A and B are shown apart, each in its own frame.
Chain A
Amino acid sequence: MWLFNRTLEVLLGKIPQKNNAALKNAVADLFKENIGEKIRKTSLPAAVSHQDLFQATLTELTNIIDSNRTQWPKWYESTINEWMGGLVMACRWKLHLLTWNTEESRENSFFLTHGLLFYIENQPPTHQRKLVEKLDKSNKEAIAMRVLRAMLPFLKTHTNLTFFQLIPSHGITLQKSLVNDYLSEQIPLYVYMFIDDCEGNFLKEIQSYLKHYVQKGLKNSFIPSYEEMAKDVVQDAIKIFIEKRSYYRQHPDEFYVDKRLVFYFIDLMRRYKLLSTYFKKHNKTDFIDEKMEDEILSNNINDNEYGGLSHENEEISIIVKGCFNTLEEKCQELLKTRYLLDFSQALSHQDIKSRTGVSVRTIERSMPKCEEILRTCIVYKASQQGLRLF
Chain B
Amino acid sequence: MDTTQKKELIRKAQTGQLTEEEYTQYLELIDSDPDFFDEVRWAEFLGLHVKAIHDEVLYEASSKFSMPIESPIQKPFQRQYLSYAAAIVLLIVTGVVFWLNRNEKPEYTLLKKEQKEVFAEEQAPKEGLGYGESGFPIGEIPLQWLEVPSQASRLSYVFCNDTLKLYLKQQKEVDSLSSKIQLSYESLSRHYFLRLPNQPKVFLKPCLPNTETLMR
Contact = CB atoms under 8 A, between A and B. Distances in A.
Interface stretch (A58-66, A107-115, A140-148): A58-66
Contacts, number: 155
A364 interface: yes
Given A58-B62, A348-B11, A201 B48 contact: no
B66 A54 contact: yes
B65 A58 contact: yes
B22 interface: yes
B56 interface: yes
A55 B65 contact: yes
A221 interface: no
Interface string A207-218: 111011001000
Contacts of B18: 125-127
A177 B53 contact: no
Nearest to A49: B67
Contact of A317 (B37, B52, B58, B68): B52
A127 B20 contact: yes
Given A161-B52, A177-B51, A375-B42, A212 B37 contact: yes
B188 interface: no
Contacts of A183: 16
Interface stretch (A6-14, A31-39, A268-276, A281-289): A31-39
B193 interface: no
Interface stretch (A241-249, A250-258, A292-300, A333-341): A333-341
Contacts of B53: 320-321, 324
A390 B62 contact: no
Contacts of A177: 15, 47, 51
Nearest to A209: B30
A181 interface: yes
B17 A126 contact: yes
A390 B71 CA distance: 51
Interface residues of A, number: 67
Interface string B1-12: 001100110010
B205 to A, nearest CB: 62
Contacts of B71: 33
Interface string B65-90: 11110110100000000000000000
B31 interface: yes
B23 interface: yes
B19 A127 contact: yes
Contacts of B70: 36, 40
Interface residues of chain B: helix, strand, loop or mixed (majority): helix
Given A126-B19, A204-B27, A375-B42, A20 B58 contact: yes
Interface string A323-361: 010000000000110011001111010000000000000
A117 B4 CA distance: 33
Given A160-B59, A208-B27, A307 B8 contact: no
A87 to B, nearest CB: 14
Given A123-B16, A126-B19, A340 B67 contact: no
Q: Interface centre among A51, A124, A364, by most B CB within 10 Å?
A: A51
B55 A374 contact: no
A24 interface: yes
Nearest to A344: B15
A58 B60 CA distance: 11
A81 B58 CA distance: 20
Nearest to A181: B14
A180 B44 contact: no
A336 B54 contact: yes
Interface string B105-124: 00000000000000000000
Contact of A390 (B11, B24, B42): B42
A240 B14 CA distance: 28
B49 interface: yes
A88 to B, nearest CB: 12
Q: Which of B11, B14, B48, B63 has the most CB of A within 10 A?
A: B48
A152 interface: no
A371 B10 CA distance: 14
A229 interface: no
B52 A309 contact: yes
B16 to A, nearest CB: 4
B31 A208 contact: yes
Contacts of B54: 336, 340
A50 B55 CA distance: 21
Nearest to A321: B53
Nearest to B26: A205
B68 A36 contact: yes
A73 interface: no
B50 interface: yes
A32 B68 contact: yes
A23 B75 CA distance: 31
A82 B168 CA distance: 78
Nearest to B47: A339
B61 interface: yes
Interface string A76-93: 000000000000000000
5 contacts: A55-B59, A184-B16, A201-B23, A212-B30, A320-B52
Given A62-B62, A390-B41, 20 more contacts: A20-B58, A32-B67, A36-B68, A59-B62, A125-B18, A160-B56, A160-B59, A177-B47, A180-B15, A212-B30, A308-B49, A320-B53, A321-B49, A321-B52, A335-B50, A345-B16, A346-B14, A346-B15, A348-B8, A371-B46
